[in-house]
Amino acid sequence: MRAPLICREIINHQRYPIDLADDPRRQTAVEQVRAELATDGCAVIRDFFSEAGLAALVDEAEARKPQAYYSPSKYNNVYLNDGNPDLPPDHPLNVRMPRNNGFVTSDLFGEETSARRLYYWEPLKLFLADCLGKDELYIYEDPVSNMIVNVGKPGQEFNWHFDTNEFTITMLLQPASSGGIFEYIPGLRSADDEHYADVRRVLGGDRARVRQLELDAGDLQFFLGRYSLHRVTQNTGDSDRLVLIMSFTDAPGMIGSKERVMNLYGKMTEEHERRQVFTDGLAD
């Protein structure tokens, strides 16, 4: 059996020595991400993993893939909530689109896994905070969804939606051989305005503001998904698309709502029953 990699061996340390606080290569990466986020709400660090690191992460995801949760042929609005019957059927709250990909949840990754050890690696968290221009980041404490693998099988898609979190950190482990393209519209809504008319236009097929992102295996992506509508197009290839998603928050102690966790991941814990849940007034 292969010896487990230490965290700096999982990443492409030669190119991104993120644990060396004063290294100019680290600073260059931070500045690049900040610039891209400022203009686009989206940033990519290419080839973030070492070859061995990527292989280990793919192996872990593949081994757990049979346990991925696929919600039974769901049709969701972009807020992943129940909508509003008092509004017209073409209101964004009532437009439902298919979403049929799966998730390998956090609880399936033990402490020995490379994915989990990397998630809890302090230098990674400090680096990501720097990239996002935050004083401090905290581990998202949701025991079901804080570090997950998204599985998109051939034929599957993850339709237009907003995220609960302000930002998301994703790592593409395996792209689709065809399709499975990440599409987004930066800053379509804001913290105090849903911009329903703009959302409605996109759902009606208007592509004027839609951007596409080319991603390869090993790319680390930052995305401001709370305000940017986004989707992954249908996987039209013959292999699974695998994405590792690590979630961090601005404040400690945050978890998801039980409704959302049940909807997306098919399970919840006593924590979800007990804890006060974060909300900022948006439709979710």
Nearer to Fe ion, 59 or 166 (CB): 166
Query: What minimum distance in Å lies between the beta carbon of 26 and Fe ion?
Result: 27
Smaller CB separation from Fe ion, 53 or 225: 225
Check: CB of residue 101 under 8 Å from CB of residue 156.
Answer: yes
User: Which CB atom, from 50 or from 247, has the smaller least distance to Fe ion?
Assistant: 247
Ramachandran bin of 25, using left for φ above 0, alpha for ψ from -120 to 50, beta for the remaining angles = alpha
Residue 218 in tokens: 């090993």
Say what the alpha-carbon torsion angle 156, 109, 60, 221 is, to the nearest 10 degrees: 60
CB of 50 to Fe ion, least distance (A): 27
* Cα–Cα distance measured from residue 267 to residue 277, given in angstroms and rounded to the nearest whole number: 16
CA 176 to chain centre: 16
Provide the minimum distance between the beta carbon of 5 and Fe ion in the complex, in angstroms, as a whole number. Answer: 28
Nearest residue relative to Fe ion (C-beta): 163
Q: Which three-class secondary structure state does DSSP give residue 35?
A: helix
**CA distances to 109, 181, 228, 264 from 114, in Å:** 9, 26, 30, 24
Least gap, CB of 49 to Fe ion (angstroms): 21
Kindly tell me which of 92 and 225 has the beta carbon lying closer to Fe ion: 225
Smallest distance, Fe ion to C-beta of residue 170, A? 9
Nearer to Fe ion, 163 or 284 (CB): 163
Nearest distance from residue 167's CB to Fe ion, in Å? 11
Catalog residues that contact Fe ion under the rule CB under 5 A: 163, 225
Residue 163 or 240: the one with the smaller Cβ distance to Fe ion is 163
CA–CA separation, 116 and 114 (whole Å): 6
